[in-house]
């Protein structure tokens, strides 16, 4: 009984110590400072497991279809993804270099993640990283699958391809008749 009482007191003291540490402002949330190793280890591993568990396994688009990849490039450009991640021939905005974690290099993502995982991430976003949920912005599943196909193939998209696929169509001629003297 005595031992149990002692353990109870120790647990209580530990809980008070943890609460004091967390709620009195000792923990530094500055993006400038790296998270302590244990925190970033936990965040990364929890994130990976969560995404793996939830990502769809069935892919409803053909990932090698060039029409799908081009539509994906368009949706990628229209939704400002390049602002943070860059794109073939497009540099990310300077502010993105101050984000922690950094916006991922999508060539690496293409190698390390399945199309289903990319779809899930873009649709749902990732808390505590700054990656937005594009479902919250009403981007359709179809557009997001096209984006996943584009990212899976991003290493083979040249800057010229990207530019010609994403630049707006040239405006219609005005249809004005030249003034007759
Ligand atoms: C405000 C900046 C920002 C914007 C805009 C943004 N992202 Fe992200 N994105 C991030 C950050 C930060 C991460 C987290 C990096 C990590 O996983 O370590 C991330 C993660 C990702 C990942 C997972 C990378 C990986 O390998 O873990 C994918 C895929 C992705 N973004 C695609 C997109 C697409 C597609 C768009 C546009 C529809 C987009 N992002 C828009 C900042 C951004």
Cα(101) to centroid of ligand 1, in Å?
Answer: 10
What residues contact 169, with CB distance under 8 A and at least 6 apart? Answer: none
Q: How far is the CA of 28 from the centre of ligand 1 (A)?
A: 24
- Which one of 48, 75, 104 would you pick to mutate in the ligand 1 pocket, going by the greatest count of ligand atoms within 8 A of its CB? 104
pLDDT for residue 1: 74
Decide which of 179 and 126 is more confident: 126
User: For residue 138, how far is its CA from the centre of ligand 1 (angstroms)?
Assistant: 17
Which superfamily does CATH assign the domain made up of 59-166 to?
A: Cytochrome c-like domain (1.10.760.10)
Q: pLDDT per residue over 59-116, tens digit each?
A: 999 999 999 999 999 999 999 999 999 999 999 999 999 999 999 999 999 999 999 9
Residue 175 pLDDT > 70, yes or no?
no
Confidence of residue 2 (pLDDT cuts 50, 70, 90): confident
Phi, psi (degrees; rounded to nearest 5) at 36: -55, 145
Q: Mean pLDDT across the stretch 24-41?
A: 93
In the predicted model, is pLDDT for residue 176 greater than 80?
Answer: no
The answer to whether the predicted template modeling score (pTM) of the entire model surpasses 0.85 is yes
Q: Which residue has the tokens 């769809």?
A: 56
Nearest Cα residue to atom 29 of ligand 1: 118
Residue nearest to atom 11 of ligand 1 (CA): 103
Q: How far apart are CA 12 and CA 86, in angstroms?
A: 49
Residue 130: both structure tokens together: 């700054």
In percent, the amount of the chain with pLDDT more than 90 equals 88
Number of Cα atoms under 13 Å in the Cβ half of residue 69: 16
Helix (H, G, I), strand (E, B) or coil at 158: coil
Please state the separation of Cα 57 from the chain's center in Å.
Answer: 19
């Amino acid at each position: 009984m005595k031992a149990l009482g002692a353990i109870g007191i120790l647990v209580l003291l530990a809980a008070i110590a943890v609460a004091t540490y967390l709620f009195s402002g000792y923990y530094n949330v500055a993006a400038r400072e790296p998270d302590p190793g244990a925190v970033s280890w936990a965040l990364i591993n929890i994130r990976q497991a969560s995404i793996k568990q939830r990502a769809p396994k069935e892919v409803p688009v053909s990932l090698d279809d060039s029409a799908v990849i081009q539509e994906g490039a368009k949706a990628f450009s229209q939704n400002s993804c390049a602002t943070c991640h860059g794109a073939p021939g497009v540099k990310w905005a300077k502010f993105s270099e101050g984000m922690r974690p950094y916006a991922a290099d999508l060539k690496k993502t293409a190698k390390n993640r399945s199309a289903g995982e990319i779809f899930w991430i873009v649709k749902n976003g990732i808390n505590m990283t700054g990656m937005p949920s594009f479902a919250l912005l009403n981007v359709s599943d179809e557009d997001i699958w096209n984006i996943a196909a584009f990212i899976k193939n991003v290493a083979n998209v040249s800057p010229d391809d990207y530019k010609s696929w994403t630049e707006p169509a040239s405006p219609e001629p005005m249809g004005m008749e030249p003034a007759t003297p």
